[in-house]
A and B are shown apart, each in its own frame.
Chain A
Amino acid sequence: MNKEIAWVRKDLLGLEDLSREEIELILATAESFKEVSSREIKKVPALRGKTVVNLFYEPSTRTRVSFEVAAKRLSADVINIATETSSVKKGETLVDTGMNIQALKADIIVMRHNYSGAAVMLARHLDISVVNAGDGWHEHPTQALLDMFTLKEKLGKIEGLNVSIVGDIAHSRVARSNIWGLTKLGAKVTVCAPEMLVPPGIEKMGARVTNDIEVALKNADAVNVLRMQFERDDENAFPQQLEYLKNFGITRERLFKAKKNILVMHPGPLNRGIEISSEVADGVNSVILEQVTNGIAVRMAVLFLVAQGRDKKNETLN
């Protein structure tokens, strides 16, 4: 582990703000935590006595469970709050909810929210740690970190890799976090989507843009396939489902033309037969389930580091 750089942040809100060294520190920390999950007793005492609150304003199974497993393997106490059963339904504001959780002496809030910027706002109001588990279309830093962890594990490095992200870029927090993180670590990122789903100025974030899937796959070391959320198209920006599969779907035929060892990633849940064919999702190039496994190690690292960062902050204040 790189000893020169220390983690001093109390929160993880996005990858845009992080330096290359901070991202590398998270990945290195995750590497050391990965082994825990293969032990017979899958637990270390790193966060014993700490309380982690999962505050989810959007339905999510995989991310919430992944964070819960990660926190438990660090021996933290975990409380799950889903908005359906909370006082949010009674009109409580986000800040009030956060202040109440803080008053319960929780240490870390892991929040998923449907509005962009919600985690940034909450973190500004609280002294305890906030980990962004996805906010609107803005960022989903732990997803990008686990994607990067998987890339590094499989391909040995990130610097110089060609990574293509395919799908609804406009509405994707996964795409944004991946672009920030990957470009900071020296990868070349291409985003590929129908024109209507490429948000303006995305190239200023450091990504190359194409509307041609052949271009996106050519020379790619990895392709990250985004979920197409057809049910959420309130702007009539989406093409027809079948048309999408025809023009952008990741199929075996398309992979034949790509690099032989191209990694196929997907943040889940899958729309089989829409953005990705079953053959590819279950095929030899797919690392989709390994991503899920790696997600635990990455989230353990993040929880561990922000807890440390907050303690360091308090030390300097005292």
Chain B
Amino acid sequence: MKLLIKSGRVIDPANNIDSVLDVLIENGKVACLQKEITSKADKIIDASAKIVIPGIVDMHVHLREPGREDKETVASGTQAALKGGVTSLLAMPNTCPAIDSSENAELLKGIIKKSAQCNVLISAAITKSRLGKEITDIAGLKKSGAIAITDDGASVDDEKIFLKALQKAAKEKILVIAHCEDKALSKNGVVNLGFISTKLGLRGISRESEYLRVERDIGLAQKAKAAIHIAHVSCKESVEIIAKAKKKGITVTCETAPHYFTLSEEDVVGYDTNMKINPPLRAKEDLAAIREGLRSGIIDAIASDHAPHTENEKDIEFDRAEFGKIGLESGLAVCVQELIGKQILDWPELVRKISLNPAKILGVDKGQLSVGQDADIIIIDPAREFILTKETIVSKSKNSPFLGRKVKGVVEYTILSGKIVYEEVCK
């Protein structure tokens, strides 16, 4: 099976490529990149005026299976991923049961083998049931295929326990992904603390509850000599703390999500529960700091933090609604609209943030188009605009904060190991 992608603008930051090239795919691998490939192929895609990049590696996705198949399944979530141009994703372990034992990891692997439509990478919990008390069998979980550990949704409050976990992770050479939130400070909060929380009469979540924990976790990771990655950075101070640590040469990486550089606390006015997210949508100045962090490179990656919830869990009073929003299908288009459109990043830099860097942080051989590599490739029409509506969403849950928003950049093809696994129908 040979697939030839003709005349697209090929962007592959790993190999410093940004030019109009043909890409030949053979036996599921990238076979050749050059101008005017004349070799015969089983299928030829004309990609002129299109952008050809390595598939997105989304390092923060809640697939909800096992346990909450009413919100999302591995099948529906990965189908949504393909539509959004995501060819590899890291599944978060806060399922029911949590991925906190080899048995549960094997259970998840079985589901993935049966129903995943894209590459699903596994992360495991740091502590049993993510309660922050008893450290999981990190070595065993690694053997079962986990490539990172995280209690995402919660932080490990006890410093002694977290330090111990970091030390074990360092020994096992496994990445620790930190959800930075001091729940003693954020308790009962539902929106960013400030004028908007005051105006709406809602309990606020202070920025301290995030950045003090970022500072603590980086410090502990340094002591343990562990690799730490800070999830969903949302506020200015967190960016500053990470910048300072990087400057000192500490090994730390971080991600943000599209809503943190697109939406602000002001979007919560009207009590739209799809805007109820943790960490919360912050102030305008935070939004600016996140953009600047992306531009300067302090923020390494962009991940969706895809967090599906049913309508029953969202169409209720703001205080009672679940935190979180979906993002697999809107992530790229929001990035194109907000980052490329507003000249915060150019295309090669964007590809670095959504494909190459997440792959590097996770230590997987993805996110690039080197010859011989798995041909995980997406073809994007960068100029086409569309409006995100509930009806077009593939994910089981529809809780997107971008509903009704005009965005730019349509994924026309998603190719996984050389096979076209998604093709936009109404091109």
Contact = CB atoms under 8 A, between A and B. Distances in A.
Interface of A: 16, 93-95, 113, 115-118, 120-121, 135-139, 170, 173, 176, 199-202, 204-205, 234
Contacts, number: 65
Ranked nearest first, the 9 interchain pairs of A and B with the lowest CB-CB distance are A201-B195, A137-B201, A138-B201, A117-B271, A116-B201, A199-B198, A115-B317, A115-B319, A117-B318
B202 interface: yes
Given A115-B320, A120-B271, A200-B204, A95 B195 contact: no
Contacts of B178: none
B197 A115 contact: no
B197 A200 contact: yes
14 contacts: A16-B199, A93-B315, A94-B317, A116-B201, A116-B202, A116-B319, A117-B202, A120-B270, A121-B318, A136-B201, A136-B319, A138-B201, A200-B195, A205-B199
Contact of B194 (A94, A137, A200, A205): A200
B316 A93 contact: yes
A173 B198 contact: no
A139 B201 contact: yes
Interface string B305-340: 000000010011111100000000000000000000
Nearest to A234: B188
A117 B271 CA distance: 6
B198 A205 contact: yes
Which residue among A121, A139, A204 has the maximum number of chain B CB atoms within 10 Å of its CB? A121
Contacts of A120: 270-271
A115 B199 contact: no
A116 B198 contact: no
Looking at chain B's contact residues, the main secondary structure is: loop
A94 B199 CA distance: 23
Which residue among B199, B200, B320 has the maximum number of chain A CB atoms within 10 Å of its CB? B199
Given A117-B271, A137-B201, A201 B194 contact: yes
Contacts of A200: 193-195, 197-198, 204
B271 A204 contact: no
Contacts of A199: 197-198
Contacts of B201: 116-117, 135-139, 173, 176
Contacts of B193: 200
Interface of B: 188, 193-202, 204, 270-271, 312, 315-320
Given A200-B193, A200-B194, A117 B199 contact: no
A112 B197 CA distance: 20
Contacts of A173: 201
A121 B271 contact: yes
A136 B318 CA distance: 11
Given A200-B195, A201-B194, A121 B200 contact: no
Given A116-B318, A137-B202, A200-B204, 19 more contacts: A95-B316, A115-B318, A116-B200, A116-B271, A116-B319, A117-B201, A117-B271, A120-B270, A121-B317, A137-B201, A139-B201, A170-B198, A173-B201, A176-B201, A199-B198, A200-B195, A200-B197, A201-B194, A204-B199
Nearest to B270: A120
Contacts of A93: 312, 315-316
Given A115-B320, A120-B271, A121-B271, A201 B199 contact: yes
Contacts of A121: 271, 317-318
Contacts of B195: 200-201, 204-205
Which residue among B193, B200, B315 has the maximum number of chain A CB atoms within 10 Å of its CB? B200
Contacts of B202: 116-117, 136-138
A117 B200 CA distance: 7
Given A117-B271, A120-B271, A121-B271, A202 B198 contact: yes
Contact of A113 (B188, B194, B196, B317): B317
A201 B271 contact: no
Contacts of B316: 93-95
Contacts of A170: 198
B265 to A, nearest CB: 10
A107 to B, nearest CB: 24
Nearest to A93: B316
Nearest to B202: A116
A95 B315 contact: yes
Contacts of B196: 201
Nearest to A118: B317
Contact of A176 (B188, B199, B312, B317): B199
A221 to B, nearest CB: 25
Contacts of A135: 201
A116 B195 CA distance: 15
A173 B201 CA distance: 7
A135 B202 CA distance: 10
A93 B321 CA distance: 12
Contacts of A116: 200-202, 271, 318-319
B311 to A, nearest CB: 10
Nearest to B319: A115
Nearest to A16: B199
Contacts of A136: 201-202, 319
Given A120-B270, A120-B271, A121-B271, A201 B198 contact: yes
Nearest to B312: A93
Contacts of B198: 170, 199-202, 205
Contacts of A94: 316-317
Contacts of A138: 200-202
Contacts of A137: 201-202
Nearest to B318: A117
Nearest to A205: B199
B411 to A, nearest CB: 33
B101 to A, nearest CB: 33
A121 B312 CA distance: 14
A199 B319 CA distance: 18
Nearest to B268: A117
Contacts of B317: 94, 113, 115, 117-118, 121
Contacts of A95: 315-316
A116 B316 CA distance: 12
Which residue among B194, B270, B317, B320 has the maximum number of chain A CB atoms within 10 Å of its CB? B317
B252 to A, nearest CB: 30
